[in-house]
Amino acid sequence: MQLSLYDTTLRDGAQTEGISFSTEDKLRIAQRLDAYGVHYIEGGFPGSNPKDREFFRRAAEIQWRQARICAFGATRYKDRDVADDPTVAALLACETPAVTIVAKFSRFQVETVLETSTDENLAMIRDTVAHLKAAGREVIVDAEHFYDGFSQDPVYTHACVEAATEAGADWIICCDTNGGALPAEVSEATRAARAWTTVPIGVHMHNDADLAAANTLAGVAAGALQIQGTVNGFGERCGNANLTTLIPTLQLKLGHQCVSPEQLRQTTELSRYVGELANTPPSAFMPYVGLSAFAHKAGYHGSGMRKHAQAYQHIDPATVGNERRILISELAGRSNIAERARGLGLSTDDAGVSEALAKVKDLEERGYQFEGAEASFELLLRRLRADYHSPFEFVDFLVLAETRGGREMLSEAMVKIRVGEEMFHTAAEGNGPVSALDHAARKALERFFPALQEVHLVDYKVRILDSASATDASVRVLIQSTDGSREWGTVGSSTNIIEASWLALKDSYEYALLENGTSSAGRCPRGSRLEWPQ
């Protein structure tokens, strides 16, 4: 069955605490949604702010591939002529092909929130829908509080459906506005709505009980033909139904047609793109699109995955643009190590796998963690090979931090580095000890390896490993680096935060040169490779 996709990331999703889209952000997201195959894109509430009005003005200048842009508003105000209502006028001024109006379908909401009569509410629905239809718009009615209204007074909710139907609505969307409905309730009420009208039904779910996806599926099973939601589940309070979860589930599990297979493969990219513009990176544990959605840590999982790709995966991650990841930890077995080595193009015999596994377990006992530090793990594997040599050797370092006479803290680092047969002793200042170390090391390395000029740190995390030890605690430092085209993670661990940072920094430099093609067996004399701390 072909389902209609309605995205409200730019309106409902923008109501997420901490998210604010610029007009440019909204246009870029809308174009990605259009390319992905979304049928309706709700651009915002033109009656509420100038930014949304600017979005609709600029959206009118774009040639959309498939999507119909929707302006969102409400029914006319109580006891007012619809032709004189500024909110309705703002909807029409957007000149979008479709408009969505929110209307109360709950007697309780009408009497306590709108503070008007039930008859006046029915008139508000009829008048607004008829007025918008007369202007040539496709009209989508969001039946606000539909499921609560159905449970409290189904007769009145039925009357609201009839009012929208008689006025010519093109869609009636059953909304779980408070997000507290249960799947069985959604199923019953949606079936009732289907029986009450010939207008196609849709569903709009909020996630306050963590049931938005389940409730949407229940609504579709009951006959809903349109699903509304947001990318990454963004939305007010606990969010909306997550389209990046629902679309793969509906298409891959239930056989509904939502988007083309090629578009479905853009799901992970779409999730991360919208998260980046929202400055709210998606959860790593999000189904289908999360970084950890197809990550395998337990050793027997890795063994099973070697035998069959679907042994511990419910779908092929490539169908949604994601990928399988084999994690390395103290829980890893030989299969995980072997799988990762093959993925890196490293041939490893049984003895090599055993040695690598023993090294991982030993290092993790001392605070290392290779999840999120894949670059350090690759270096571990390579350093165990007799033919691998680092392009440089860090000999030692000294870091000073001082303040005198009430001045700001000063940090200075001195580093001794060997490249080939040459020894370099450099010094530099920084806004902290790690910054000073970085500057001092680069002074020596960049004269030999200019590629390091493109490498910079994008994230730095410190984790205390044994808080009971207070200031004597061991720490783990994770560093994320980039050269502008790719990112990688490295790790260091020590009872000294500066040493832990230094170890992670060293790995970051070495991995950058490894990927750049600099590190090779003939580059530096044998014996200059880095050693793990003893």
DSSP string of 235-280, one letter each residue: -STT-B-BHHHHHHIIIIIS--B-S-HHHHTTHHHHHHHHHHHTT-
Examine residue 41 and state whether it is found in any structural domain, yes or no: yes
Helical residues (DSSP H) of 37-117, grouped into ranges? 50-59, 86-93, 107-109
Q: Are residues 241 and 306 in the same domain?
A: no
Q: Which H helix or E strand runs over 435?
A: helix 433-445
- Asked if the structure places residue 55 within a domain, the reply is yes
The reported pLDDT for the residue numbered 405 is 66
Alpha carbon distance 10, 48 (integer Å):
14
Do the domain assignments include residue 534? Answer: no
Q: Indicate the burial class of 265 (C-beta count within 10 angstroms; 0-12, 13-18, 19 or more).
A: middle
With respect to residue 262, please indicate whether it lies within any of the assigned structural domains. Answer: yes
Q: What pLDDT does residue 201 have?
A: 98
Tell me the C-alpha distance between 237 and 239, whole Å. Answer: 6
Mean pLDDT over 234-262 rounds to 97
Same domain assignment for residues 470 and 439: yes
| 170, 61: one domain | yes
Least confidently predicted of 133-142, 179-188, 319-328, 477-486: 319-328
Residue 420 pLDDT class (50, 70, 90 cuts): confident
Most confidently modeled of 64-78, 286-300, 366-380? 64-78
CA 370, CA 467: separation in Å to the nearest integer? 21
Which residues are within 8 A (CB) of 352 and not within 5 positions of it... i.e. 6 or more apart? Answer: 341, 384, 385
CATH number at 32 reads 3.20.20.70
* pLDDT tens, position by position, 356-378: 777 777 777 777 777 667 888 88
Identify the three-state secondary structure at position 141: strand
Encoded tokens for 504: 């992670």
Examine residue 328 and state whether it is found in any structural domain, yes or no: yes
Statement to judge: residues 314 and 424 lie in one domain? no
Rounded to an integer, the average pLDDT of 422-438 is 89
Using DSSP bridges, classify how beta strands 487-494 and 475-482 pair: parallel, antiparallel or unpaired: antiparallel
The answer to whether residues 333 and 231 belong to one domain is no
The three-state secondary structure class of 406 is coil
Domain that holds residue 273: 4-277
Which two tokens mark 272? 């991360």
101 and 172 in a common domain: yes
Domains of the chain: total: 3
Rounded-to-integer distance, Cα 372 and Cα 376, Å: 9
Same domain membership, residue 318 and residue 361: yes
To the nearest 10°, the Cα dihedral for 11, 13, 19, 21? -40
Same domain, residue pair 333 and 413: no
Of 216, 504, 257, 203, nearest to 376 (Cα)?
504
Say yes or no: 204 and 308 in one domain.
no
Pairing of strands 201-205, 171-176: parallel
Same domain, 14 and 83: yes
Does a structural domain hold residue 524?
no
Q: Is residue 48 part of a domain?
A: yes
Mean pLDDT across the chain, nearest whole number?
Answer: 87
* pLDDT above 70: percentage of residues in the chain: 85
Please tell me whether residues 327 and 429 are part of one structural domain: no
Check whether residue 327 and residue 417 sit in a common domain. Answer: no
Query: What pLDDT score was predicted for residue 444?
Result: 85
Mean pLDDT of 186-206: 98
Full DSSP string of 2-19? B-EEEE-TTTTGGGSTT-
Q: State the CATH number of the domain containing residue 478.
A: 3.30.160.270
Examine residue 528 and state whether it is found in any structural domain, yes or no.
Answer: no
Q: In angstroms, how far is CA 12 from the centroid of its own chain?
A: 17
Q: What is the pLDDT of residue 307?
A: 54
Q: Say how many Å lie between the first and final Cα of the chain, rounded.
A: 62
